[in-house]
Amino acid sequence: MKLLSEDLLKEYGFVIDPVKSNHIIKVMTRDNMEIVMKDNGSFYYSNVGIDYPLKDIAGLRKLYKELRSTDLKPVTAND
């Protein structure tokens, strides 16, 4: 399983939200889903003030499927 990283999130279509990001956290969004990267290298799905820890792409895919009722797939140049 691939561990989450900023590059991996970008591969799956997540983009940095400059309004919500700062020097401590980086917020990446896709389809109104926010993934927070903290300065210690940990990743979280953030919803209504509750942080749900994420470790790898399998966990992110499962969460995305539950929230969006569709599979999370890498974006291609044609998307």
pTM summary value: 0.88
Running DSSP on this structure, what letter comes out for residue 4?
A: P
> What are the residue boundaries of the structural domains of the chain, listed by start?
6-63
Q: How confident is residue 77, by pLDDT bands cut at 50, 70 and 90?
A: low
pLDDT at res. 28: 96
Residue-wise pLDDT tens digits, 14-59: 999 999 999 999 999 999 899 999 988 899 998 877 889 999 999 9
Total Cβ atoms within 10 A of residue 64? 21
CA distances from 27 to 44, 45, 78 (A): 10, 10, 25
Give the number of residues written for the chain.
Answer: 79
Phi, psi (deg, nearest 5) at residue 48: 45, 45
Q: What pLDDT is stored for residue 39 in this prediction? A: 87
How high is the pLDDT of residue 78?
A: 58
The pLDDT assigned to 42 comes to: 94
